[in-house]
Structure 1
């Protein structure tokens, strides 16, 4: 009798797992404003890793996009799992796929999700981070220029 109840117990315990499926995904996009011209392109990075912000090369799971520069640019990163994310942006005016510098000052424009302020270097992840869960998320970021 005892032996016969084990399969039923195992089957009952496994039932909640059958319907679990993958976690829901949420669309994330950013509207980029403030470009001083339409030269080049906009480089965008969406990361959930503080160590991968603002440089996506440090996060192999980061979503990246490159779009032509325009007066206003909308970048759709597609669906992502729920979590906390941050976006970094570069107006790559000469289309060389990197931030050009003049000594230690950026020569090209940059921006971050939540319009995170910049003081002596890029903002920390927490200043630019936003939560993603359920409803589609659209951030707005203004490009800034120092030179």
Structure 2
């Protein structure tokens, strides 16, 4: 199950309001430049495919409306080493649009605010340990252009 909340300019929407439980990872996404489109989120344990979680059938993935601040809660998360990748898909076309074939035109973010240097970060730069307690992460959305 996935719980989401997206805060618009004047409205707060909360899908479910229940206390955090051990198998949850809650991600607060900040610094979106606008409320257009959606935020695509994926969380995986697979180092060799990160940041493309689509190739991991056991990954946690969701798409939520963009807002001033977006909160995503993944439930049923087993203990392990995970990395999160986010895309602010402003035109909701399902892909990361690029300028000049390589520079991202849309926002992106990674767990541990892993730096982007000419390519997405490596899994080792974004990885975090999830244990037996509920966990909260904050990821700042970044824009190249």
In which range does the TM-score fall when normalised by the shorter chain? 0.7 to 0.9
Q: Which has the larger radius of gyration?
A: 1
SS in 2 for 1:81: coil
Q: What per-residue deviation string (whole Å, max 9, x for no partner) do you get for residues 56-110 of structure 1?
A: 1221211101000000000111121110000000000001111111111111000
Distance 1:52 1:26 in 2: 23
Q: Which runs of no fewer than 5 residues in structure 1 stay unpaired?
A: 1-24
Structure 2, unaligned runs of 5 or more: 1-21
Aligned to 1:115: 113
- Name the one with the larger helix percent: 1
Q: State yes or no: 1:72 paired with 2:69.
A: yes
TM-score (norm 2): 0.82
Does the 8 A contact of 1:51 with 1:58 survive in 2? no
RMSD: 1.0
Q: Which consecutive segments of 4 or more residues in structure 1 shift more than 6 A?
A: none
Partner Cα distance (1:76, 1:125) in 2: 21
Look up the SS of the partner of 2:48 in the other structure.
helix
2:53 aligned residue (33, 53, 56): 56
- Is the contact between residue 51 and residue 59 of structure 1 (CA under 8 Å) also seen in structure 2? no
- The separation in 2 between residues aligned to 1:146 and 1:65, in whole angstroms, is 23
Number of residue-to-residue matches in the alignment: 123
